[in-house]
Amino acid sequence: MLRQSNAADIPRSAVQLRYTSMASESRLYTFSAETEEKLRKFRLGTSRANSPQAVVYQIDKHTLEIAQADDTIYSNVQELGDELPDHSPRFILLSYPLTLPSGRLSVPYVLLYYLPVTCNAEVRMLYAGAKELMRNTAEVGKVIEIAEAEDLETLEEKLGGAA
């Protein structure tokens, strides 16, 4: 005879373990109040942008705080690519105005997850663990993974714009 399982069938300790591990992961990485405010202002301020706008975020390996790498707001994707490090991952928030194949204008707000193939395993894991938290905190619509700065050249294609 088949029996339907429900929450009462799961040992209490297993449920507690599941919730504890989810909560501890989100507390592993932090955002300062200032960083959260910068994220909010950037998201709201770029929704009607006429040119691409991007900011770069990094994780401090010692404090595990996610913060803006510098105060630069890039308006040129090529310039952004030139500034990306060769051996270290970064999170890049990007607002990119484009024309859709239908002719309609769109300004997608995305997270570029820059993960060079040359970075070490420890740093890869550090950024991989923070990717979803960064996505949710920044409230982006899409995450695009890029492995090298040259991938920025095909960005409009990845966002679904008209060529």
> Of the candidates 89, 93, 87, 86, which has an alpha carbon nearest to the alpha carbon of residue 72?
93
Closest by Cα among 134, 135, 113 to 124: 113
Distances in Å between the alpha carbon of 152 and those of 68, 101, 116? 20, 20, 13
**pLDDT category of residue 3 using cuts at 50, 70 and 90:** very low
Do β-strands 109-114 and 142-146 pair in parallel, antiparallel, or remain unpaired? parallel
Q: How many CB atoms are located within 10 Å of the residue 78 CB? A: 11
pLDDT per residue as tens digits for the range 29-63: 999 999 999 999 999 988 777 889 999 999 999 99
pLDDT on residue 11: 45
